[in-house]
Structure 1
Amino acid sequence: MSDSGPVLVVTNLDDPTADLVIRELHGRGVPVVRLDSGDFPHALSIAVTIDSNGVSGTLRTPSRTADLSRVRSLYYRRPSGFVFPRLGEQDARFAVTQARYGLGGVLAALPDCLYVNHPHRIGDAEFKPSGLAAATEAGFDVPPTLVTSDPDAARTFVERYGPVLYKPLSSPLYRVDGVSCTVEVAEVAAAEIDGAVAGTAHLFQQRVDKAADARVTVIGDHVFPVRIDCDLLDWRTDYSRLRYSVAPLPPGTADALFAYLAHFGLVFGAFDFAIDREGRWWFLECNPSGQWYWLEPETGLPMLAAMADLLERKSG
């Protein structure tokens, strides 16, 4: 790893968190090359050789050139998808596949590069069932959860574990009359379950009788636990009603956090917990690309400095 090599930041144009990280790195004199993989190939190009000496070559944007053999770290956030609007359907599908496995494969194979996080590891960690299984192995308490396409199994689960929440297994773009919508977490009764459940996979989870929520952000070796108090079922539906405070972790939780991240090969994770009325913390999920900076002004936790340290490779 070169001490003078750049940090690659892979994200879309509208990413305020990445903007702040880049500003912090610039203030430290650390070179940064920002790119959106969705800009390939019209505003982004690569020329890479792979031989017995490893991976070498360049990546170019309209304003920057990166020597890929000297990249110190890659901050993978939320890049946009590949688009080839001038091609027909079949040609565009072929071009997207080549771009994904070409550019994507190069970005995933940089020598001696610290990934925050590696895009393949992000993909692995985004599967909720495997995340819940890893959480139990790491030692977290996990609410009883059912993944099913069987209406009878869903009904039986709700009757046994109610109250029960329905949660989407993933959240792709969903439009109603042209308007983007979010499939929200919602409580479900046994009488509401019908044959439509057989249409795809669903996740049902026992509702925690919670007193508060917690977002715990792990950045390298640093753990930033924040308690979130509100009266909402899902605190992400109205940020104006949230109150924040720094929360001490229960015994053993830090070890479990790092065990979970190690399972997936991650160095960053945004963990969500429900805290019940007896103070017990229940694991809900870990987002390997989650938002985090908005918590720093609310709590004073030095999260931006920790992320810049990690990308600069000063620690973590």
Structure 2
Amino acid sequence: MSDPRPVLVVTALYDPTADVVSAELHDRGVTVVRLDSGDFPGSLSVEAEITSHGVWGSISTPSRTADLAGIRSLYYRRPSGFAFRHLDEKDARFAVTQARYGLGGVLASLPGCLYVNHPHRIGDAEFKPSGLAAAVAARFDVPPTLITSSPAAARAFIKRHGPVIYKPLHNPVYLIDGASSVVKVADVSADEADDGVAGTAHLFQLLDWRTDYSKLTYSVVQPPPGIEEALRGYMRHFGLVFGAFDFAVDHDQRWWFLECNPSGQWYWLESETGLPMRAALADLLERAT
């Protein structure tokens, strides 16, 4: 007998990775309810009652309604932020806070639901310093990394370890002339670490592989001894079910941990490698394994 419980997919309207997973689940006869929390409260509504018997109620989009107690799994990807543009700044700030802790709290409290991943665990794991510390504890090799707002410390680190890259600690989307843009990972010299470093926190690291995507090729490899065990230890530390790990492999075949993105992109690698990644994630969400 098929399982009638739906899979909840929480993400923005444009998300090709969520698109292919949703299509895979649909082809299997699994009901998918997709929503963007940024649509709340306009085209998205929630009714949740919490009693001594549990959490009851529903969440509704223009086309579907899901029973909160009947959701089998939640695929939390990249929803857009709450926006109350019709309100003044003070009221909008209050409304956003209520939406975050109201709708967000309900989505984080679904009974019997498998989270891929739980939004609170994603939040914990997105702090790069915490991730690097957890990687050390999991016995990954971690490249020398500096987090600082001191120009002098940055210059000294670059001179000691160069070549060094700069990458943002978190990467919000900027709108430049109406187009979305993000701060890219890039090489940085000691001369470039000027007084502007004092303006906020910056992350400098010994190595990275993403400075020239055009030269990259892709193939399936077997990790060396210890990597799989360290992966599992890292995931347990943050309570993650899924993670997109980035490593750099040096000329001595030593694997260096760079980061783990708990909501990372992966579908582009399926066509490059032939690995059944979409099917594997659908298996997880369907709870078929």
In 2 relative to 1, CA 179–308 (structure 1 residues): closer, same or farther, beyond 3 Å? closer
In 2 relative to 1, CA 35–306 (structure 1 residues): closer, same or farther, beyond 3 Å? same
Q: In 1, Cα distance between the equivalents of 2:163 and 2:226? A: 28
Deviation larger for 187-196 or 130-139: 187-196
1:272 aligns with one of 236, 242, 246 = 246
Are 2:174 and 2:181, in contact at CA under 8 Å, matched by a contact in 1?
yes
- The residue identity in structure 2 corresponding to 1:288 is P
Task: Report the CA distance between 1:198 and its aligned residue.
Answer: 1.1
TM-score by length of 1: 0.87
Task: Report the CA distance between 1:77 and its aligned residue.
Answer: 0.6
- Could you tell me which residue of structure 2 aligns to residue 8 of structure 1? 8
Task: Report the CA distance between 1:174 and its aligned residue.
Answer: 2.7
Q: In 2, Cα distance between the equivalents of 1:159 and 1:124? A: 32
Deviations 1:83-112 (CA, angstroms, capped at 9, x unpaired):
122222221111111111110000000011
Are 1:165 and 1:185, in contact at CA under 8 Å, matched by a contact in 2?
yes
Q: Percent identity?
A: 70
- The residue identity in structure 1 corresponding to 2:257 is F
- Could you tell me which residue of structure 1 aligns to residue 25 of structure 2? 25
Q: Does 1:65 align with 2:40?
A: no
TM-score by length of 2: 0.95
The equivalences for 1:224-303 within 5 A come to 233-235=211-213, 238=214, 241-303=215-277
- Could you tell me which residue of structure 2 aligns to residue 132 of structure 1? 132
- The residue identity in structure 1 corresponding to 2:53 is N
- Could you tell me which residue of structure 2 aligns to residue 37 of structure 1? 37
Ranges in structure 2 where 5+ consecutive residues have no aligned partner: none
- Could you tell me which residue of structure 1 aligns to residue 190 of structure 2? 190
Q: In 2, Cα distance between the equivalents of 1:161 and 1:19? A: 42
Q: In 2, Cα distance between the equivalents of 1:191 and 1:87? A: 45
SS in 1 for 2:43: coil
Task: Report the CA distance between 1:306 and its aligned residue.
Answer: 0.6
- The residue identity in structure 2 corresponding to 1:172 is P
| C-alpha RMSD of the superposition | 1.6
- The residue identity in structure 2 corresponding to 1:40 is F
- Could you tell me which residue of structure 1 aligns to residue 52 of structure 2? 52
Deviation larger for 82-91 or 103-112: 82-91
Task: Report the CA distance between 1:278 and its aligned residue.
Answer: 1.1
Q: How many residues align?
A: 288
Are 2:207 and 2:248, in contact at CA under 8 Å, matched by a contact in 1?
no
